[in-house]
Structure 1
Amino acid sequence: MRLQGHILTPEGWCLGQLECDAGRILSITPDASLDPGQSPWLLPGFIDLHVHGGGGLDAMQGGEAAAVLARTHARFGTTSLLVTTMTAAEEDLLEALAAVNRVIERPEPGRAEILGVHLEGPFINPAMLGAQPARARAGTIEAIERYRALAPIRLVTLAPEIEGHRALIEHLRDAGVRVQIGHTCAGFRLCVEALGWGVSGFTHLYNAMTPLHHRSAGAVGAALAHADFCEVIPDLVHVEEGAMHVAMRAIPRLYAVTDATAAAGMPDGQYKLGEHDVYKHSGAVRLANGTLAGSTLTMDQALGNFLSLGDSLARASLRLSTWPADYLGLDDRGRLAPGLRADLVVLDETFALREVYVGGERVPSSADHY
């Protein structure tokens, strides 16, 4: 397969030809005959490390939910993702993890590659649930190993202030699992200490954590002062524009996640998020009491929002592709270069999504009706 246009390489933009075969990029070569004004823009495929659902199904529903959400988000440019679970009763969590693993073991065309699981809870603070069900509990090494035996857990969100969680963080660090602070009542000092234990990031910055105040810097202050990597939901609902600018300036590798629910890619209505019923309306998803409950965001919308906040197209691509890949230690994707996976998106002259390729194969996209 050969594509042409403005190609974003690690060295910068190249107007030329990209050739791939057997799922890998073979070459990227300049082509002076191309018209810059009529050529599309080629970026690495988007990588979403926090996605609960899409296409009407939530990961906690088990069955084919993980496959459906992977197909749904591929339509919007996501080529790799972590299926994200919720705090739940033990038996429900075990069933959900086993179901995700069955989908991972049965690859199929037309969907984003599932890299593993982001375990968001149950090891969170019950006083900072957000939209999580009230089933939070302290984590143990025995419990996490039980979960890891069922599915490849790549990332865990937890509250570091819970008794026993320092040992759990150190165990996960040594096992190569990323750990993030989230749904926490921990203050600034404890969060900084936890970074030394092996924590590597913060979950949906600003949301469900102690806020920044000039006399009490909180978890938000710890992230802004000390985080290298950090995820944020750039839907401009979870975090308003001013707070986004603060994070974009303060955190070296602030990257996008959708925290998408079953409502992503679907019309307004009622959907599931774990045990909860959630309601999509006016571009947001909420519990019946009005609490934000995940998002309707897709990664192509995240790209547009970062551009509206002042990022260049190249820098926005770092936030959606390169830095998430770096955070998980993936050296085969997140960039366009010979030898890497042929995961990429094609944008038109307005930077709107037009084509999506996963492993060199074109998948149905949200633009196919144009």
Structure 2
Amino acid sequence: MTETVALKSTRIITPDGCVDGYVIFTNGKIEAVTHNYQGEALDYGDHWLMPGFVDIHVHGWGRGSFAYKGDKNSLVHMSRDLVSSGVTSWLATSGTMPHDFLEYSVKNAAEYISEVTPQAGAEVLGVHMEGPWISPKHLGMQRADCLQAPSVSGFEHFNQLAGGNIRLVTLAPELEGALEMIRHLHAKGITASAGHTDATFDQITAAIEAGLSHFTHAFSAMRGFHHRELGVVGALMYYPDVYAEVAKQSGITIKPQAFDILYRLKGDRRLVLMSDCMGYADFPEGYEFHHYLRQETFRIHNGQLNITAQNGTCQHISPDDWPAISGLEMSFLDSVKNIVDRLENGLVSVARIACHNPAVLAGAEKRKGSLTVGKDADILVLNDDLTLQDVWCRGVKQPLPR
């Protein structure tokens, strides 16, 4: 059955700027962005229409945590809940976890990807493996007891279980075997990213020559900058053609000034926004996690999330309490709100760093990342305060979580 939908607005964000007109899509694919249309349309007035966000680095969100549960139920919850933050497609991001758990996780991701429909919410584009091929010197919140040495065979083992759906790999380029693995990833069209790494500037240079094109959570969990040894941070700033991602813009992960410096260097062309959220409410029963930046400890007890602050006070959150759960971590949309006024072209810039660029790194730029003819109708409707009014995923209007 053919179904054509037209959305009308005076402010549509396209790669060419903001235009007045209609976005027309049929069976979930954009057919036209035009000034001229004579049929029936849903009139959004002066609301913003822009492409949905593509989150290539998200471990969990809302009521799901893929990195810590690894089951299909976690993916179901994340797909449904991510639309509330403006995310319409994403990479299910793992962590440095036990080998058998990673096997279990990527197999579940493959099954979910093969059967999911647009009615399920934000689309899983594939898997981002953050580790286990990382440096013990820059673990961050990763597990030291689950590290593995980089190898092509090790990667292919996981990718076969994932149904060939691994789209991005974070690794430490200085480790033995890493350069060979980077060349392999590059040859297969999979993004290789430097992260949790103690590499020198020269080692990063060799990795870029081998095919490395991205840096995971810039500034965090990597060798810093020194004027005689530029390190990983120096390399990501020095080389103009590599992408660099920054996590949620709360001012905790990185200072606003650090974001501004990186944006001046990378601009709309190579900066990438992502969330790096965890999905605390879906941690396994009994699991305890200390967030060293927030100075809070998260623990699941009898199916309920307990959050203990540094001063000993404890907050108890039910998995059914959506308002509380949705406020546990800064959303993708709230990050956008915190930076949009500092970008060169406002929401047009947002559409590059939060939509187009991550779609490129996920290998999905032919389908995602812009309101362009032939791409999926992943569309956000926002008011002047950038509050979500509607979300469309592959042409299906989504119910927003309550």
TM-score relative to the length of structure 2: 0.82
Farther off after superposition, 55-64 or 238-247: 55-64
Instruction: Give the number of aligned pairs.
Output: 356
Please give the alpha-carbon distance, in whole angstroms, between the structure 2 residues aligned to 1:308 and 1:48: 21
2-structure distance, mates of 1:279, 1:17: 48
Partner AA of 1:13 in structure 2: C
CA distance in 2, matches of 1:262, 1:139: 28
Distance 1:163 1:281, change over 3 A: closer
What is the aligned partner in structure 2 of residue 259 from structure 1? Answer: 276
Give secondary structure in 2 for the equivalent of 1:278: strand
Q: Work out which of the residue numbers 346, 354, 372 in structure 2 matches 1:320.
A: 354
In the alignment, which residue of structure 2 is the partner of 1:172? 185
Aligned twin of 1:142: 153
Q: Structure 1 residues 74, 38: closer, same or farther in 2, change over 3 A?
A: closer
* Cα gap change, 1:28 to 1:14, in 2 (>3 Å): same
Partner Cα separation in structure 2 for residue 120 and residue 275 of structure 1: 24
Candidates 258, 264, 281, aligned match of 1:243: 258
CA distance 1:59–1:115, shift in 2 (3 Å): same
Alignment correspondent of 1:123: 133
Q: Which amino acid aligns with 2:128?
A: H
Distance 2:284 2:47 in 1: 37
Q: Which residue of 1 aligns with 2:244?
A: 230
Percent identity of equivalent pairs: 30
The 5 A counterparts of 1:171-250 are 171-228=184-241, 229-235=243-249, 236-250=251-265
Offset, 1:322: 1.2
Measured on the aligned residues, the alpha-carbon RMSD in Å equals 2.8
In the alignment, structure 1 segments of 5+ residues that lack a partner are: none
Greater fraction of residues in helix: 2
Corresponding residue for residue 315 of structure 2: none
Alpha-carbon distance in structure 2 between the residues aligned to 1:285 and 1:79? 30
3-state SS of 1:346 partner: strand
Q: Any residues of structure 2 matched to 1:29-48 within 5 Å, and which?
A: 29-30=34-35, 39-48=46-55
1:213-239 Cα shifts (integer Å, max 9, x gaps): 233321011001115311111422211
Distance change (3 Å), C-alpha of 1:260 and 1:37: closer
Shift of 1:31: 6.5
Equivalent residues in 2 for 1:1-370, closer than 5 Å: 1-5=5-9, 6-30=11-35, 39-60=46-67, 61-63=69-71, 64-108=73-117, 109-134=119-144, 135-151=146-162, 152-228=165-241, 229-235=243-249, 236-251=251-266, 252-263=269-280, 272=283, 277-278=288-289, 296-311=329-344, 312-329=346-363, 330-365=365-400
Residues 259, 286 of structure 1: CA spacing in aligned structure 2 closer, same or farther, 3 A cutoff?
Answer: farther
Residue 50 of structure 1 deviates from its aligned partner by 0.5
C-alpha distance in 1 between matches for 2:336 and 2:13: 15
Gaps of 5+ in 2: 299-307, 311-327
Q: Secondary structure at the match of 2:380?
A: strand
Q: After TM superposition, give the deviation of residue 276 of structure 1 in Å.
A: 6.0
- Partners of 1:19 and 1:284 lie apart in 2 by 48
